[in-house]
């Protein structure tokens, strides 16, 4: 029985993880470790692509023996490669280099079937006696051709020790077990990422970035404009004080972002900060008579631009505060990935294989060391 909902679960979980790590604060440390980043990008593609291949096998109808051989070889290899991808995904995101996919209860059985049937069927072991004097065992396997069908096959096992044996395998069962493995690993990884995220948020719980922007911001800019246009009426000192208050709010916001790890090469917030800082600094030189700005109209344009950028930074602060107040990061992750946040940018993680509509959820290396290769 074809279970496309289960296939969609794998794709949905993987898509969630892709989108979750696209948040610049989470993405930047991953990208900085290039070898691990490349491994992660490859692993995510492999898990998605192989799930697509497995689901395609389920939907197909194979009457021709040659085609059945091809798709059966492909199915078993796809499950094996998907497990490798899952293992390296865990290593990249968990930082657990010791993790082995064989620790999952279904993995060793599925890998053994692939190993015996299509990986290395012709010769395993040797008749050469062992060092302790026991006879060596050489085993060969062959798929019984007339047994082949989409639902499964029979494997002949020949041993110089135990003789002949026929073993029946259900592809439906193998797919079900492999998919359960994939869903469990991805769900566990998703949970770990969310736990790390929530721990980070707890560190700054109750600290509102928007509170760094004084309610009198508009008043401060009024004084700046007055100092620019009417300096002879004693407005200059108040204008300079207003400017220093604005700069103080700007510097406090920038320091708070840096403390939270938000200022990095994967975010466009540093660009917005630079756009804001430049006119503020230049206005300071203007009031001291040291700026290239000599026309009050030009200085007023700088002040207007700085005022609008400070409003933009305030909106960014409110967005980040809303994100940090949430108890569950799913909406934040998806919003960031869709490019809806003012202060962040969408970063494409790997090529993100396009998935057929039939596999979308309702509403989208080096192998681990093992004796099975």
Identify the domain containing residue 107 by its residue range. Answer: 4-126+143-154+167-201
The answer to whether residues 78 and 185 belong to one domain is yes
The answer to whether residues 67 and 192 belong to one domain is yes
The answer to whether residues 173 and 243 belong to one domain is no
The answer to whether residues 147 and 29 belong to one domain is yes
* Residue 371: burial class (beta carbons within 10 Å; 0-12, 13-18, 19+): exposed
Asked whether residue 186 is domain-assigned, the answer is: yes
The distance in angstroms from the start CA to the end CA of the chain is 29
Contacts of 96 (CB under 8 A, 6+ apart): 90
The answer to whether residues 9 and 81 belong to one domain is yes
pLDDT in tens for each of the 373 residues of the chain?
445 566 679 999 999 999 999 988 899 999 999 999 999 999 999 999 999 999 999 999 998 999 999 999 999 999 999 999 999 999 999 888 899 999 999 999 999 999 999 999 999 999 999 999 999 999 999 999 999 999 999 999 999 999 999 999 999 999 999 999 999 999 999 999 999 999 999 999 889 999 999 999 999 999 999 999 988 776 788 999 999 999 999 999 999 999 999 998 888 999 999 999 999 999 999 998 898 988 999 999 999 999 999 999 999 999 999 989 876 554 444 433 333 333 332 333 443 334 344 433 333 333 333 344 4
The answer to whether residues 235 and 172 belong to one domain is no
The answer to whether residues 278 and 307 belong to one domain is yes
The answer to whether residues 89 and 238 belong to one domain is no
The answer to whether residues 175 and 251 belong to one domain is no
Helices assigned H by DSSP within the chain: 4-20, 24-32, 34-59, 65-94, 107-114, 171-203, 217-229, 236-259, 269-288, 296-325, 330-337
The answer to whether residues 288 and 173 belong to one domain is no
The answer to whether residues 21 and 97 belong to one domain is yes
CB 25 within 8 A of CB 262: yes
For the chain, how long is the longest CA-to-CA vector?
A: 107
The answer to whether residues 67 and 109 belong to one domain is yes
Q: How many domains does the chain have?
A: 2
């Amino acid at each position: 029985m074809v279970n496309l909902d289960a296939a969609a679960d794998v794709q949905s979980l993987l898509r969630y993880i892709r989108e979750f790590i696209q948040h610049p604060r989470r993405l930047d440390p991953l990208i900085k470790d290039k070898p691990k980043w490349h491994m992660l990008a490859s692993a995510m593609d492999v898990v998605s692509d192989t799930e697509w291949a497995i689901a395609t096998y389920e939907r197909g109808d194979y009457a021709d023996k040659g085609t059945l051989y091809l798709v059966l070889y492909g199915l078993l290899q796809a499950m094996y490669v998907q497990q490798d991808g899952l293992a390296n995904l865990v290593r990249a995101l968990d930082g657990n280099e010791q993790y082995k996919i064989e620790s999952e209860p279904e993995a060793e059985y599925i890998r053994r079937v692939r190993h015996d049937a299509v990986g290395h069927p012709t010769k395993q072991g040797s008749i050469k006696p062992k060092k302790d004097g026991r006879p060596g065992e050489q085993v060969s396997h062959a798929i019984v051709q007339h047994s082949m069908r989409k639902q499964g096959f029979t494997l002949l096992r020949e041993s110089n020790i135990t003789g002949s044996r026929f073993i029946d395998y259900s592809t439906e069962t193998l797919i079900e077990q492999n998919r359960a493995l994939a869903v469990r690993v991805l769900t566990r990884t998703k949970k770990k990422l969310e736990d790390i995220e929530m721990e980070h948020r707890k560190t700054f719980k109750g600290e509102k970035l928007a509170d760094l922007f004084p309610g009198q911001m508009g008043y401060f800019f009024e004084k700046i404009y007055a100092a620019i246009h009417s300096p002879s009426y004693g407005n200059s000192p108040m204008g300079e004080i207003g400017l220093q208050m604005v700069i103080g709010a700007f510097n406090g916001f920038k320091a708070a972002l840096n403390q939270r790890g938000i200022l990095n090469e994967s975010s466009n917030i540093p660009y917005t900060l630079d756009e804001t800082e430049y006119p503020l600094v230049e206005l300071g030189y203007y009031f001291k008579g040291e700026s290239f700005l000599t026309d009050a109209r030009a200085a007023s344009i700088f002040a207007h631009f700085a005022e609008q950028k400070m409003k933009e930074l305030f909106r960014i602060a409110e967005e980040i505060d809303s994100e940090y107040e949430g108890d569950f990061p799913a909406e934040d992750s998806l919003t960031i990935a869709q490019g809806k946040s003012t202060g962040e940018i969408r970063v494409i993680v790997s090529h993100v294989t396009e998935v057929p509509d039939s596999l979308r959820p309702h509403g989208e290396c080096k192998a681990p060391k093992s004796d099975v290769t």
